[in-house]
Amino acid sequence: MKYLVRISISLFLVLIVTAALGYVYLAPVTKPEPVSSDATRVSINSGDLIGYQNELDVSVWQGIPYAEPPIGDLRWKAPRPVAHWEGQKSVLKIGPDCASQSFKTSIDNNHFNGSEDCLYLNVYAPEKAENLPVLYWIHGGANNGGSSSNPVYDGSQLASKFDVVVVSINYRLSVFGWLSHPALRTSPDLPEDASSNYGILDQIEGLKWVHQNIVKFGGDANKVTIFGESAGGWNVMALMASPLAKNLFHGAIAQSGGLDIETIARAENYEDAGGHQHSSREFITQLLISEGKANDIASAKAIQNSMTTTSLATYLRSKSTAEVYQAFRSETGGKVFRNLNLIGDGVVLPKAIASETLFSDPANYNAVPVMLGTNRDEMKLFLSFNPDHVDMLMGLPIGIKDSKRYDKFSHYGSNQWKIKAVDRLAAVMRQGQGNNVFAYRFDADDLRDFGFIDLKELFGAAHGLEVSYVFGNFVTTMSRIIHPTENHKARNALSQTMMSYWAAFAHHGTPGRGYFGKQIEWSAWQNSSNENRVMILDTSLDGGIRMSSEQLYMDNLRKAFLTDTSFVNQQEFCSAYKLLFRGKDFVQKEYDFLGEKGCSDVES
């Protein structure tokens, strides 16, 4: 009976929310179109530009090309510097999103969003800026999606209040940004063409553009801080690891990042020969099947094996964007929903190596002041739309099936993320590069309670929720729904503090007491026991902003997990083990004999 009542309430609320969303998206646009301003005229090495000034008196240039379109013969090659243009280019709108797979429930005609011609960036600068530090934003989206066009990433608040120049970029995504195959390494025009990490090369090209041009926008090329969230955080760590990015940045902030580098063998071989199920050869197999050149996997492999590297490279570059993503939805070849990225190609990234080994020696990477952080409830974003954990209606969660189980899965997964992305790396980096390693945990969870479902329980401090606080932008429909009005004052105060810390780091290489020196002192990570090492970022409605001595260890997480008797069944126990203890943390013997029954014969 209670469930029926909850369904009735939920149907009513879903109709209200749907109507509200419809109004938001269908109501007439009231924000005026940007108008070019003479004050934004600049001349850079590729030509003349004119942007606009917004209501915050921030000068904005959007959609600036920073490299040649990576299409035709330039597909799966390093980016080339953009050609010089004649006349004045008006840059008033964000450039095209990079092509990414469409995840619509009904397969559309194109199977993708965006364009391969997408290497554009945006600049936000205070009026009359001069020699200001630069914050270089790398968006998230699993390196398979996302875009600098997200309104949350507008850098105007940071620029106007904290004297920084903000740059945000697009970079190649999915199979166009990361693909490793011998055919793509034959006869490179540049050494970098032999890479497998084209998306990282795009980010490096963007940094080169900053060094050559940012002074014209009031920025200081000798004070560049890279920052990014999720996949953007992973890419920040990849840039720290890349020899090609040396001296291109001077600080790094990885939000919910980490770093795992795939081997060439996993990225290239067939699955039955030790490769990943989404390796380049498996992708090509699906491509051959999807266009009808092969009837099944066996015949596709035979065709692929018979092709020369030259003919295979030509074949891959001849396919349209739609044809490439059609292979990701091939009914006969299987579905690929992601591709491998961050590959140890020996060009952009070192050969596969454990991240804490890589970052234990400053000689191995670009050692700069660094901030590492995660959100307390990272995993709740993913659990909240998982029908195994929540009841769904019209694609929306309407209730948590088992709150204790839900929190348990979030606790294990979120703590594992913190261990790998923050605590392990901070400990080794602090030992190697000294007192300029900083860590945080984002705890803010003052979210709306709908009665039938409490968003504080559903989301908490979930993955990605800190980004709006970092940019000071709560402009999306989701923000308007999840943040109750009565909590806005505390929310906005935390946002101002976080922006102040991020800006202080860009200015001075330490968050310290914030840009204006009025915040709680954020001290560096310490390896000594019982010393403050992590800044907790929370609102005054809860625990507030404070330093903590917390440090998590994988051995403790493993011990707690192995003695946990609350899993529903052995399959769930085994599946959770494989999810938590991947890579070097996976112990085959332990997995085989897990619990009373073991996992070797359990389908997980």
Please give the Cα distance from 414 to 411 (Å, whole number): 5
**Cα separations in angstroms, 473 against 22, 96, 122, 151:** 21, 22, 17, 8
Instruction: Count, in order, helices (H) and strands (E) of the chain.
Output: 21, 18
pLDDT digits (tens, 9 = 90+) for 577-602: 998 998 889 998 888 887 666 786 66
How does the average pLDDT of the chain come out, rounded?
90
The domain locations on the chain are 369-552, 564-592
pLDDT band at 308 (very low <50, low <70, confident <90, very high): very high
Between strands 100-101 and 47-50, the pairing is unpaired
pLDDT band at 330 (very low <50, low <70, confident <90, very high): low
- Which pLDDT band, with edges at 50, 70 and 90, does 106 fall under? very low
Judged by average pLDDT, the poorest of 106-110, 164-168, 438-442, 466-470 is 106-110
Residue 108 has pLDDT above 60, yes or no: no
Residue 419 scores a pLDDT above 90: yes
Q: For 176-193, what is each residue's pLDDT tens digit? A: 999 999 999 988 999 999
**3-class SS of residue 22:** helix
CA distances from 192 to 185, 200, 238, 313, 315 (A): 9, 11, 16, 16, 21
**Mean pLDDT along residues 143-160:** 96
pLDDT band at 329 (very low <50, low <70, confident <90, very high): low
Indicate the DSSP class of residue 487.
G
pTM of the model: 0.93
Angle at the Cα of 467 from the Cα atoms of 465 and 470, rounded to 5 degrees: 130
Rounded to an integer, the average pLDDT of 8-30 is: 37
- Count of CB atoms within 10 A of residue 563's CB? 7
| pLDDT of 389 | 96
Spatial separation of the C-alpha atoms in residues 463 and 95, rounded to whole Å: 26
| Sequence-separated (6 or more) residues with CB below 8 Å from residue 133 | 163, 164, 165, 219, 220, 223, 224, 225, 506, 507
User: Do residues 177 and 147 lie in contact, with contact meaning Cβ atoms separated by under 8 Å?
Assistant: no
* Token pair belonging to 283: 């992708």
The helix-helix angle for 280-290 and 297-306 (nearest 10°) equals 110
Give CA–CA dist 97/535, Å, rounded: 34
Contact 576, 584 (CB under 8 A): no
Measured between alpha carbons, how far is 180 from 197 in angstroms, rounded to an integer? 8
d(CA 257, CA 362): 19
